[in-house]
Amino acid sequence: MRVLTLNGGSSSVKFGVYAVGNTVTEVSTGEVERADAGGAFFDQIGDVRPDAIGHRIVHGGIDLFAPVVIDDGVLGRLKRATAFAPLHAPAALAMIATAQAHYPDVPQVACFDTGFHEDLPDLAAVLPIPKALHAEGVRRYGFHGLSCESILAQLGHTPPDQLVIAHLGNGASVTAVRAGHSVDTSMGLTPSGGVVMGTRSGDIDPGVLLYLLRERGLDATAVEDLIYRRSGLLGVSGVSADLRVLHASDIADAALAIRIFCRSVAKQIAAMLAVLGGADLIVFTGGIGEHDAAVRTAICGDLAFAGPIVVRTLPSQEGAQIARHVGRLLG
């Protein structure tokens, strides 16, 4: 089976072609900026006639977790779930529509970032809010699940019993994994929670949002724009959301933004050490986690109190994981 995977992140769209049988083999991959991911995007893929297409979907709402063939009913449920991932969901729906127009007879599969965290224990999943809201689906969902699954696939059939995965990119999260299962994770109801990110605030005092609503007169749309698109590394530095730019800058706030990011990640990893009772292995992945040695050194320096822990860097192979899910579902 030849599977085309489409992975829309918050800043770019990655695509890949995989041969899926007993194993998953990468044929080709590429990446384009979000602004270029329209209809012409498929010209860059070339003359590929896939047997199936797999889409990374950040949030499937309250009841979509397992990979599923996309039909009109699924599309309706995805549209209702856009409130949970306003930075990602509309673009993913647009990509599905474009792919359906380009490959009208090819089955398309939605693969969810929340799927890996579906069975979080109640200690992690239940938010400290009125119980009635939890019954309506307001809970911790967790994200970067496809990335976490790809790390486990690379570690093999016997992953460490106590594993922490730090997926650090423009979006960032930290997940505690016990015996191959997610038991806690830094992101919550939406991908805006947890650690400081490129343009997202991460965890923030709810009183700040109330202050903005009451005293500054911001409405919900303006608050959403602030916490998703104007905060994080960009907000603190006033320079950029890109750590490569911040490393090269001589502006004091750029250095401060890097320090805040590193401390934020270290604090979340420390929290996951408490959840797991220690760690056999910490894996750094994602663009920053895999390639920014200075950031990894700073984070690990903050964790020196925990004693020696094995640290590895592994690539986030979300495309291969999507292809694997598509093969299992359709194969």
> 2-16, 20-34, 59-73, 199-213: lowest mean pLDDT where?
2-16
Total length of the chain: 331
Res 252: pLDDT: 98
What separation in angstroms does the CA of 150 have from each of 121, 177, 299, 315?
Answer: 22, 13, 23, 9
- Rounded to two decimals, the pTM is 0.95
Res 37: pLDDT: 57
pLDDT interval class at 91 (50, 70, 90): confident
**Residue whose token pair is 């608050």:** 223
| pLDDT above 70: residue 313 | yes
The answer as to CATH 3.30.420.40 being correct for domain 158-313 is yes
Res 36: pLDDT: 56
| Sheet strand arrangement including 12-20 | 24-33, 12-20, 2-8, 52-57, 108-112, 68-69
pLDDT interval class at 11 (50, 70, 90): low
Query: What integer is the mean pLDDT of 87-108?
Result: 91
79 with 90: CB under 8 angstroms? Answer: no
Res 331: pLDDT: 83
Res 85: pLDDT: 86
Res 9: pLDDT: 61
Res 157: pLDDT: 86
pLDDT interval class at 10 (50, 70, 90): low
Q: What is the pLDDT of residues 120-146, one digit of tens each?
A: 999 999 999 999 999 999 999 999 999
Query: What integer is the mean pLDDT of 95-109?
Result: 93
Residue extents of the structural domains in the chain: 2-139+318-330, 158-313
With a pLDDT cut of 70, the percent of the chain lying above it is 97
pLDDT interval class at 185 (50, 70, 90): very high
Q: What is the pLDDT of residues 38-58, one digit of tens each?
A: 556 677 777 789 999 999 999
In one-letter notation, the amino acid at residue 98 is T
Active site residues: 113
The answer as to CATH 3.30.420.40 being correct for domain 2-139+318-330 is yes
With a pLDDT cut of 90, the percent of the chain lying above it is 86
Q: Do domains 2-139+318-330 and 158-313 have the same CATH topology?
A: yes
